[in-house]
């Protein structure tokens, strides 16, 4: 992962240096950056995706809480009735507690995978929907390249290169227009 990140950063830096070295020619290059995280947080589609993820997380937490309550109830029963339970009843209760803990662990693993898959699908859909918006903006404004800020490895960029606000505005408008066309 770090090697890939290093490679991306290297390619970006080579491109930026090439642009500046070419500065003496008549052709000028414009570079834009977008912040996908901000697009997710501020666009209407992003807010909807975050709401879906939040609801999924709440459902998972509720189910895990339920598992915890059931486990605590069985453990309490074992602790309070340990002296009066027969050996077989005690073993059954211990087995029930272990089974419940195993179910909880499996549920937690499966739920995490489901959550991550939902997040991936929602974000991928948004990225896919953003591509025509970014492409159109880049062509209209004469950008030679548009990069995603967090993936670029750059720690600071002049705010004039940040086109995130315009992308969000156009993306929201495109989504609204698509709704009214239906």
Least confident segment among 22-31, 59-68, 136-145: 22-31
Residue 78 neighbours by CB under 8 Å, 6+ apart:
85, 90, 93, 94, 97
Binned at pLDDT 50, 70 and 90, residue 1 comes out as: very low
The span from the CA of 131 to the CA of 36, in Å, is 12
* pLDDT at position 112: 97
Burial class (CB in 10 A: 0-12, 13-18, 19+), 178: exposed
- Higher pLDDT among residues 8 and 40, named by residue: 40
What values do phi and psi take at 150, rounded to 5?
Answer: -70, -30
Q: What is the DSSP letter of 124?
A: H
> Would you say residue 71 has pLDDT above 70?
yes
pLDDT for 174 = 93
pLDDT for residue 2 is more than 60: no
- pLDDT tops 80 at residue 39: yes
Q: What are residue 32's DSSP bridge partners?
A: 146
- The percent of residues above 90 in pLDDT, for the chain, comes to 70
Instruction: Return d(Cα 16, Cα 157) in angstroms, integer.
Output: 12
| Residue where the block lists tokens 């002049």 | 158
What span, in angstroms and rounded, lies between the C-alpha atoms of 150 and 155? 8
pTM listed for this prediction: 0.77
pLDDT level of residue 16 (50, 70, 90 thresholds):
low
CB 173 within 8 A of CB 43: no
Distance CA 15, CA 12 (A): 5
Q: What is the pLDDT of residue 3?
A: 46
> What was the pLDDT predicted at 12?
53
List the single range of 96-100, 112-116, 148-152 with lowest mean pLDDT: 148-152
d(CA 22, CA 34): 24
How big is the CA angle at 141 (ends 166 and 177), to the nearest 5 degrees?
45
């Amino acid at each position: 992962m770090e090697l890939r990140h290093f490679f991306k950063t290297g390619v970006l830096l080579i491109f930026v240096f090439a642009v500046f070295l070419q500065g003496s020619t008549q052709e000028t290059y414009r570079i834009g950056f977008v912040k996908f995280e901000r697009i997710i947080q501020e666009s209407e589609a992003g807010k909807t995706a975050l709401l879906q993820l939040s609801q999924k997380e709440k459902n998972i937490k509720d189910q895990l809480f339920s598992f915890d309550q059931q486990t605590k109830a069985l453990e309490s029963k074992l602790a309070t009735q340990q002296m009066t339970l027969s050996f077989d009843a005690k073993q059954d209760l211990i087995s029930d507690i272990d089974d419940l803990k195993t179910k909880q662990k499996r549920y937690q693993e499966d739920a995490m995978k489901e959550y991550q898959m939902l997040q991936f699908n929602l974000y991928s859909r948004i990225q896919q929907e953003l591509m025509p918006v970014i492409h159109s903006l880049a062509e209209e404004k004469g950008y030679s390249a548009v990069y995603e800020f967090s993936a670029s490895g750059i720690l600071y960029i002049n705010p004039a290169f940040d086109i995130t606000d315009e992308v969000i505005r156009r993306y929201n408008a495109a989504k609204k227009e698509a709704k009214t066309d239906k």
